[in-house]
Amino acid sequence: MVAKTPALLSRREIEALIADGGMIFILDQFVIKANAWAPYHPGGDMAILHMIGRDATDEVTALHSAETKQLMLNRYRIGRIEDRWTNFIPPIQGGRFRSRVDAEPEYDSSSSDESRGASSVFDSDRSALRHRCGQGPSSSASVTSVSSTEEDDGMAHLDTVTHEKITLDLEKYPAVDYPTQDAIIAKYRQLNERIITDGLYKCNYRAYGIEAIRILTLFACMLLALHWGWYAVGGAFMGAVWQQLVFIGHDAAHMGITHDFHIDTCIGIFIGDFLGGLSIGWWKRNHNVHHIVTNAPEHDPDIEYLPFLALSHRFFASLRSTYYNHVMKYDAVAKFAVQFQHYSFYPLMTVGRFNLYRLAWSYLLSNQPPRKGPAWWHWYLEMTGQVFFWTWYGYLILYKSIPSTSGRLAFFLVSHMITAPLHVQFTVSHFAMSTADLGPSESFPQKMLRTTMDVDCPRWLDFFHGGLQFQVIHHLFPRVPRHNLRTVQKMVMGFCEEVGIPYALYGFVDGNQRVVGKLAEVSRQARILRKCQEAMAGRNT
């Protein structure tokens, strides 16, 4: 029986489907409607929502196995397109779409980049910042023509900063027109095929044997320290165990170990929930979105830390997080904390694990975990893992093995605070990089290279970074096993040189200096804005 050729759909028909609630994206020139799949998606629906109206071929290929991709093509395609696809702005990001019954007005530039400037963010930034100060909307013509009132309230300065950062990115990176980006995509896909051919998606299980020996040795040292009554030292070894376990959990959650969804998920749950007290399901939902909208202040949950940290002056506009679905208020607490964020950054990293507990339980006790499809049972396994963790760690270690309250407190605090370098590793590869939006025409590989940096370190120190030092490579090819990333790095460097994209590679110290410098810069902007607003308030009284 000859397979039926999917119907050819026009751009207008696809727009109408999205306007009617269709979760539509493009995959290998086929039109995919993911509404029926969204409740079953193990990574949650947020990642899908950020791909609506876009060609998601590279994102889907990077984050999913070939079998899952083929399942989408066979089960959820409703049509096909011809030629190249011009991306819409997804509804969750502010795109507006016309239904079938709507008239045919002039083209609405909010749904596509065809009639936009370099960045949709620049326009929304100005509107949000001025609305916050009660100025109302302003025309785009005022970008270069600023009134004296605007000069006084500090908004013009922040507008200029936004414009300068976008301009710098446009000058530093290849043009975001479609012909240029299409050439980059073609080279990126060729590189992926080369990685497959060279067998670099295959896992080095011997390397995990070495990882297991290292972790068991650290755990044995923790038990020995407890036996000798060295509770703070024991806590340090416990934190080191968690650090090393997180690296394996990260690999498993990306299906980078066995490449089997259920096996790798079980490995991740065993490491994350049973041994670490964290939720691998939460991590997947959060991390998948991070991989798609990296460093987008409104959308990437991995850079949304108000009231304690702001990575861009755009947070001064009290942005709404599309991931958390609430306004990140730039209130009195945030205004105070952001002024000193370059000093508070490292102290905050020492308590980062407590925030992960909060996020894990917020996820597990919500309706977010998938209760249908292949992952329906994962929640039950995770809850079992949480009970197991707090039994062995909370009861058997803290309560039964340590006789004094001071000893328990020392072990508990040190075991959590010693993981601070791990949280620094999570942030250093993104915090210092661009948060500008160059529009929906920017390709997936260029956006990942523009918003992510690698940490340079000798091979013998790889165990300390656990693969997180290769974040650029990981963002381009998330399913490549950790122990192959150093080999792929050389290939990516060649790719970057060929397509003209700068490859950000810094030492660990230099990378940290850039992060602190970025935080200090935003802090300075916060002080300028506060002084301007105080001056205006004084004149108005």
Instruction: Report the helix count and the strand count for the chain, using DSSP H and E.
Output: 23, 7
395 in helix, strand or coil? helix
In terms of residues, how long is the chain? 541
457 in helix, strand or coil? coil
Q: Which residues pair with 321 in a beta bridge?
A: 326
Handedness of CA 184, 185, 188, 189 (dihedral sign): negative
Residue 529: pLDDT above 90?
Answer: no
197: left (phi over 0), alpha (psi -120 to 50) or beta: alpha
CB 328 within 8 A of CB 321: yes
257 in helix, strand or coil? coil
CB 316 within 8 A of CB 529: yes
From CA 358, how far away is CA 44, in angstroms rounded?
19
Task: Kindly state the average pLDDT of the residues 384-407.
Answer: 96
Residue bearing the bigger pLDDT, 235 or 70: 235
pLDDT band at 102 (very low <50, low <70, confident <90, very high): low
Residue bearing the bigger pLDDT, 118 or 172: 172
CB 27 within 8 A of CB 72: yes
Give pLDDT, residue 157. 67
Task: Kindly state the average pLDDT of the residues 17-41.
Answer: 92
Give pLDDT, residue 112. 55
From CA 290, how far away is CA 250, in angstroms rounded?
14
pLDDT band at 147 (very low <50, low <70, confident <90, very high): very low
Give pLDDT, residue 57. 94
Residue 145: pLDDT above 70?
Answer: no
Residue 137: pLDDT above 70?
Answer: no
Structure tokens at 405: 């309250």
Give pLDDT, residue 3. 57
Nearest Cα to Cα of residue 452 among 482, 496, 422: 496
Give pLDDT, residue 517. 94
**In sequence order, what DSSP letters do the residues of 280-319 get, joined into one string?**
HHHHHHHHHHHHHSTT-TTT-GGG--TTT--SSGGGGG-P
35: left (phi over 0), alpha (psi -120 to 50) or beta: alpha
Structure tokens at 505: 């590679």
Amino acid at 73: L
From CA 207, how far away is CA 247, in angstroms rounded?
13
pLDDT band at 143 (very low <50, low <70, confident <90, very high): very low
pLDDT band at 104 (very low <50, low <70, confident <90, very high): low
Q: Which residues pair with 212 in a beta bridge?
A: none
Residue 114: pLDDT above 80?
Answer: no
Give pLDDT, residue 155. 59
Question: pLDDT by residue (tens digit) across 313-365?
Answer: 889 988 999 999 999 999 999 999 999 999 999 999 999 999 999 999 999 99
Residue 381: pLDDT above 60?
Answer: yes
pLDDT band at 119 (very low <50, low <70, confident <90, very high): very low
Question: pLDDT by residue (tens digit) across 187-198?
Answer: 999 999 999 999
CA 360-455-321 angle, 5° bins: 40
From CA 104, how far away is CA 85, in angstroms rounded?
21
Give pLDDT, residue 420. 92
pLDDT band at 540 (very low <50, low <70, confident <90, very high): low
Structure tokens at 250: 């990260």
**In sequence order, what DSSP letters do the residues of 422-473 get, joined into one string?**
HHHHHHHHHHTS------TTS-HHHHHHHH--EEE--GGGHHHHTTGGGHHH
Question: pLDDT by residue (tens digit) across 423-448?
Answer: 998 899 999 999 988 888 999 999 99
pTM for the model stands at 0.87
From CA 48, how far away is CA 272, in angstroms rounded?
24
Q: Residue 454 is inside which H or E element, if any?
A: strand 454-456
Task: Sketch out the chain's domains with CATH numbers.
Answer: 11-92 (3.10.120.10), 179-508 (no CATH)
Average pLDDT, the chain: 86
Task: Kindly state the average pLDDT of the residues 272-278.
Answer: 95
CB 108 within 8 A of CB 98: yes
Give pLDDT, residue 111. 52
